[in-house]
C-alpha cells in the first residue's frame, strides 16, 4: 500500500476520532479545501447572479460559470450551455423524463430499456411516464458473472426502443458496465442516457467516449455539497426541447397572457440557483486536479479494493453479492450473513463507530431478482485506510462469534 494519505485533508476524521466511515456510496465526506471555499465565498464574493449591474454580482456569477466550465472540462463536453444545474440526480432524471414528455419526444408504446441494477431515480420517473402516456419499460438482465447480458439486450432492443437509460456503475455491486459496447449497437433513432452518479466520483467520465445524449450525476458524492445535481445534454437536443419548469430567468419575455422560453441553459434553470453549492463543486473538482486527477483516485481505490477482496476470503460466512477483481469495480461491497438481518449488522457496526448502509440501497428490482432481501454495504473512498477495512472485518468476526 502506498503511503499517500488523503485522510488528513478531511476534517471530519480529526473531529470524530475513531470514526470508520464506509458509506461514501451514499454520500462522500468533504475536504477542507471545499468546506473553506463555502465560507470564503460567502465572506467575499456572494451576491445574486444573472442580470448584474454591480461588480459583486459579476464576481459571484463568474464563480457559477467557472463551476460549469470545470464540469465541462471533466466531462469533455462541448459547451457550458449543455450543462444544467438542478438539485440532485433524482431531480435531474425527473426533469429529463418530464421534458422528453412535454416535448412530445415519447409516445404510447415507445420502449425504454433499463438495466435491472438501476437506482430508483432511473426507474420511477419512467414508471410515471408509463402511467401517464403508456410507454413500455424493459429491463436488461445481468449474467452470472454480473456483466450485462448482451443477448438479452439484443433480443429486447427492437424498433420500439426510443431510450436506453443505463447506470455506468451499480451502487449495490460496484460493477462498472461497459457502456461503449452499448453505444456500438445503438441506432441513430435511440437516445442514450447515462447515470454517472457512482462513476463520476471514481473515474474519468467522458461523454464522447460512449457517445451519450444525456448524462447526470450528483455533486455530494464527489466531495461537493448536497443539493446540486448535474444534467448534461447534447446542445442540439437541448435546443429543441421544452422545459418542464418555467418562471424567472427561464423566459425571454412575459406578457399578461403569454411568455417565451429563454435560450440555454437558462430555460432549464428557473429562479435563483444554488450558487454556493456550485462553488463547492468547482472546488471539489479542483481538489481532484490537485491530487493528480483520477489516476490518484484510481490507484488508491484499487489498492483498497484488492486489500478488501483478500480480507473477505478470511471469513467464509460473509457472502458478497458480486465477486470480481479490482479492474471491473469501484470500492462498493454489499454483503449478507445467513441468520443475521442486515439492519442488525449495520446497527452492531454503528455501535463500534463503523458507518455502513443496509437494506436494498434504492435498487429494489435488483434485490427482488437476486432473491436477496437485504444487504449491508461498505463503500470506500480516498480518505479510507487499511485500518478502516481491518476494523470492519474485525467487527464482522466479533458479530459472528456472538
- Applying CB under 6 A, the span of 60-68, 70-78, 83-91, 376-384 interacting with ligand PLP comes to 83-91
Does 280 interact with ligand PLP (rule: CB under 6 A)? no
Q: Is 306 helix (H, G, I), strand (E, B) or coil?
A: helix
Distance between CA atoms of residues 275 and 58, nearest Å: 12
- Applying CB under 6 A, the span of 42-50, 88-96, 129-137, 174-182 interacting with ligand PLP comes to 88-96
Does 89 interact with ligand PLP (rule: CB under 6 A)? yes
Position among 60, 86, 88, 358 found at the interface with ligand PLP (CB under 6 A)? 88
- CA atoms 3, 4, 7, 8: torsion sign: positive
- Give the total of residues touching ligand PLP (CB under 6 A): 12
In this complex, which beta carbon is closest to ligand PLP, that of residue 37 or of residue 115?
A: 115
Name residue 376's beta-bridge partners.
335, 358
Which residues does the annotation mark as catalytic? 362
348-387 binders of ligand PLP (CB under 6 A) = 362
Tell me the per-residue interface mask from 109 to 128 with ligand PLP, x by CB under 6 A, - otherwise: ----------x-x-------
Q: Give Cα 163 to chain centroid, integer Å.
A: 19
Does 167 interact with ligand PLP (rule: CB under 6 A)? yes
Distance between CA atoms of residues 293 and 70, nearest Å: 13
Pairing of strands 111-115, 161-167: parallel
Query: Counting runs of H as helices and runs of E as strands, what totals does the chain give?
Result: 13, 15
* 360 Cβ contact partners less than 8 Å away, ≥ 6 residues apart: 366, 367, 373, 374, 375
Does 67 interact with ligand PLP (rule: CB under 6 A)? no
Shortest Cβ 229–ligand PLP spacing (Å): 6
Position among 171, 276, 360, 384 found at the interface with ligand PLP (CB under 6 A)? 171
- Applying CB under 6 A, the span of 75-83, 87-95, 292-300, 313-321 interacting with ligand PLP comes to 87-95
In this complex, which beta carbon is closest to ligand PLP, that of residue 123 or of residue 395?
A: 123
Q: Is 120 helix (H, G, I), strand (E, B) or coil?
A: helix
Distance between CA atoms of residues 381 and 266, nearest Å: 34
Measured in degrees and rounded to the nearest 5, phi and psi for residue 305 equal -65, -45
Tell me the per-residue interface mask from 177 to 206 with ligand PLP, x by CB under 6 A, - otherwise: ------------------x-xx--------
Q: Give Cα 71 to chain centroid, integer Å.
A: 14
- Applying CB under 6 A, the span of 48-56, 82-90, 105-113, 180-188 interacting with ligand PLP comes to 82-90
Shortest Cβ 171–ligand PLP spacing (Å): 3
Beta-sheet strands, E only, within 198-281? 214-218, 229-233, 251-254, 259-261
Distance between CA atoms of residues 292 and 290, nearest Å: 5
In this complex, which beta carbon is closest to ligand PLP, that of residue 170 or of residue 276?
A: 170
Shortest Cβ 251–ligand PLP spacing (Å): 27
Determine which helix (DSSP H) or strand (DSSP E) holds 310, and give its type and residue range: helix 293-313
Shortest Cβ 197–ligand PLP spacing (Å): 4
Pairing of strands 357-359, 375-379: antiparallel
Shortest Cβ 361–ligand PLP spacing (Å): 7
| DSSP assignment letter at 325 | -
- Applying CB under 6 A, the span of 8-16, 86-94, 258-266, 288-296 interacting with ligand PLP comes to 86-94
Shortest Cβ 57–ligand PLP spacing (Å): 29
Task: Check: CB of residue 193 under 8 Å from CB of residue 207.
Answer: no
Chain residues binding ligand PLP by CB under 6 A are: 88-90, 119, 121, 167, 171, 195, 197-198, 218, 362
Amino acid at each position: 500500500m502506498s503511503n499517500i494519505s488523503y485522510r488528513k485533508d478531511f476534517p471530519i476524521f480529526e473531529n470524530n476520532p475513531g470514526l470508520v466511515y464506509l458509506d461514501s456510496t451514499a454520500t462522500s465526506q468533504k475536504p477542507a479545501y471545499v468546506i473553506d471555499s463555502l465560507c470564503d465565498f460567502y465572506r467575499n464574493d456572494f451576491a445574486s447572479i444573472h442580470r448584474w449591474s454591480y461588480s459583486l454580482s459579476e464576481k459571484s456569477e463568474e464563480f457559477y460559470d467557472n463551476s460549469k466550465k470545470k464540469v465541462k472540462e471533466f466531462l469533455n463536453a462541448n459547451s457550458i450551455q449543455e450543462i444544467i444545474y438542478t438539485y440532485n440526480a433524482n431531480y435531474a432524471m425527473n426533469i429529463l423524463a418530464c421534458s422528453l414528455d412535454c416535448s412530445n419526444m415519447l409516445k404510447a408504446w415507445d420502449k425504454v430499456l433499463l438495466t435491472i441494477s438501476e437506482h430508483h431515480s432511473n426507474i420511477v420517473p419512467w414508471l410515471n411516464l408509463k402511467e401517464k402516456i403508456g410507454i413500455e419499460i424493459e429491463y436488461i438482465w445481468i449474467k452470472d458473472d454480473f456483466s450485462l447480458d448482451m443477448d438479452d439486450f439484443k433480443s429486447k432492443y427492437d424498433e420500439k426502443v426510443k431510450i436506453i437509460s443505463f447506470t455506468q456503475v451499480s451502487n449495490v455491486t460496484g460493477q462498472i458496465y461497459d457502456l461503449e459496447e452499448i453505444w456500438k449497437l445503438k441506432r441513430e433513432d435511440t437516445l442514450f442516457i447515462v447515470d454517472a452518479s457512482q462513476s463520476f466520483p471514481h473515474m474519468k467520465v467522458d461523454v464522447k467516449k460512449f457517445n451519450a445524449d444525456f448524462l447526470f450525476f450528483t455533486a455530494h458524492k464527489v466531495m461537493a455539497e448536497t443539493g446540486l445535481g448535474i444534467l448534461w445534454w447534447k446542445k442540439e437536443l437541448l435546443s429543441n426541447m421544452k422545459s418542464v419548469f418555467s418562471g424567472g430567468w427561464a423566459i425571454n419575455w412575459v406578457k399578461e397572457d403569454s411568455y417565451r422560453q429563454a435560450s440555454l441553459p437558462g430555460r432549464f434553470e428557473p429562479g435563483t440557483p444554488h450558487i454556493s453549492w456550485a462553488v463547492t463543486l468547482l472546488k471539489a473538482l479542483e481538489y481532484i486536479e490537485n491530487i493528480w486527477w483520477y489516476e490518484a483516485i484510481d490507484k488508491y481505490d484499487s489498492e483498497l479494493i484488492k486489500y478488501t477482496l483478500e480480507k473477505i476470503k478470511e471469513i467464509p460466512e460473509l457472502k458478497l453479492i458480486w465477486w470480481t477483481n479490482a479492474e471491473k469495480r469501484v470500492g462498493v461491497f454489499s454483503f449478507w450473513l445467513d441468520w443475521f438481518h442486515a439492519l442488525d449488522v449495520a446497527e452492531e457496526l454503528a455501535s463500534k463507530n463503523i458507518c455502513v448502509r443496509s437494506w436494498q440501497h434504492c435498487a429494489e428490482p435488483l434485490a427482488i431478482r437476486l432473491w436477496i432481501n437485504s444487504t449491508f454495504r461498505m463503500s470506500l473512498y480516498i480518505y479510507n485506510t487499511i485500518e478502516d477495512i481491518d476494523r470492519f472485518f474485525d467487527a464482522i468476526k466479533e458479530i459472528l462469534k456472538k
